[in-house]
């Protein structure tokens, strides 16, 4: 970090939808989100639409230094290979890092293939399969893998620490003690599939999100990865309810939204 350089993190949402039916309809894009911090640029969970939404919202994927994938479900990894090709100039330059759970290189479920082929992996400078508790450094950004309670039992969340601390539990139900990984975060990004009173196994609803936010106490909470029920005019109301319950600023993300943290 040079003298006089702003200590900030910039987040761009290339898609705020999630789940099977939103992915199929593209009622919201499912392109994941991009974190720029301390001269690093990470694309987290580049699902369907990532490439097109990056172009639409003015994000140059050639500047990426890392692709991070939380788990092997298609709404989180579908565009990962083409995003990787953008990062490596069409798989011509050995560049950047790939991090994520072990399924970035192999499959642990019969129906899922590895995310990246051997051809593409040889063009990454680093390939780092992670499990909960693992820590790696991408430049001056420290990435820590956290545990989840999701239908992909090897899925992980992330905490990215540099000039700012950004938490991302990824998909999964809230579980007791989860908040300890995200305490002290400047921002926590929560995949909130459903509103209050509507549960879906292995996913978070706003009641569970509220509990995690209330215990972790980040400076800012952002809801995204909305299922159809959250897109029926309730996502902003649910965010307002969480803010009222916790006293912590909570917003519902929109496609293309940019945040300076």
DSSP string covering 165-190: EEEE--SS---TTGGGGTTT-SEEEE
1 belongs to a structural domain: no
> Can you give the residue range of the structural domain that contains 160?
9-256
Number of domains observed in the structure of the chain? 1
So what's the pLDDT on residue 114? 81
Q: What average pLDDT does range 122-151 have in this prediction?
A: 96
Q: How confident is the model at residue 5 (pLDDT cuts 50, 70, 90)?
A: low
Query: Encoding tokens for residue 129?
Result: 């399969």
So what's the pLDDT on residue 199? 87
So what's the pLDDT on residue 153? 79
Report the C-alpha gap between 203 and 214 in whole angstroms: 18
3 belongs to a structural domain: no
* 1 pLDDT higher than 90: no
25 belongs to a structural domain: yes
144 belongs to a structural domain: yes
- CATH code: domain of residue 156: 3.60.15.10
44 belongs to a structural domain: yes
215 belongs to a structural domain: yes
- Token pair 């300890």: residue: 180
**pTM of the predicted model as reported, rounded to 2 decimal places:** 0.94
Report the C-alpha gap between 250 and 103 in whole angstroms: 32
79 belongs to a structural domain: yes
Query: Encoding tokens for residue 106?
Result: 């192999």
* 27 pLDDT higher than 70: yes
Q: What average pLDDT does range 115-139 have in this prediction?
A: 94
The predicted-structure confidence for 161-219, as pLDDT tens digits, reads as follows 999 999 999 999 999 999 999 999 999 999 999 999 998 889 999 999 999 999 999 99
The predicted-structure confidence for 54-109, as pLDDT tens digits, reads as follows 999 999 999 999 999 999 899 999 999 999 999 999 999 999 999 998 877 766 55
- Token pair 């989840």: residue: 148
* 250 pLDDT higher than 80: yes
So what's the pLDDT on residue 3? 53
Render 115-136 in DSSP notation, one character per residue. SS-HHHHTT-SEEEE--TT-EE
So what's the pLDDT on residue 200? 87
Q: Helix-strand-coil percent breakdown of the chain, rounded to 5?
A: 25, 25, 50
CA 257, 159, 189, 76 torsion: positive or negative?
positive
């Amino acid at each position: 970090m040079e003298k006089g350089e702003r200590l900030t993190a910039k987040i761009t949402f290339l898609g705020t939808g999630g789940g099977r039916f939103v992915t199929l309809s593209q009622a919201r894009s499912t392109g994941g989100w991009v974190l720029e911090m301390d001269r690093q640029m990470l694309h987290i969970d580049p699902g369907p639409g990532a490439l097109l939404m990056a172009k639409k919202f003015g994000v140059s994927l050639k500047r990426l230094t890392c692709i991070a994938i939380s788990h092997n479900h298609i709404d989180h990894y579908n565009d990962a290979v083409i995003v990787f090709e953008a990062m490596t100039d069409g798989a011509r330059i050995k560049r950047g890092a790939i991090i994520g759970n072990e399924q970035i290189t192999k499959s642990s479920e019969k129906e899922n293939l590895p995310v990246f082929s051997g051809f593409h992996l040889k063009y990454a400078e680093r390939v780092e399969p992670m499990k909960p508790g693992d820590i790696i450094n991408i430049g001056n950004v420290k990435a820590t893998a956290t545990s989840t309670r999701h239908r992909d039992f090897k899925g992980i969340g992330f905490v990215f620490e540099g000039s700012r601390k950004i938490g991302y539990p990824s998909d999964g139900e809230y579980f007791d003690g989860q908040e300890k990984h995200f305490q002290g975060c400047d921002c926590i990004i929560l995949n909130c599939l459903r509103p209050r009173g509507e549960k879906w196994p292995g996913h978070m609803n706003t009641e569970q999100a509220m509990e995690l936010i209330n215990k972790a106490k980040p400076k800012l909470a952002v809801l995204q990865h909305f299922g159809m029920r959250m897109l029926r005019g309730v996502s902003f109301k649910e965010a307002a309810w969480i803010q009222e319950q916790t006293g912590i600023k909570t917003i519902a993300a929109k496609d293309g939204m940019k945040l300076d943290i």
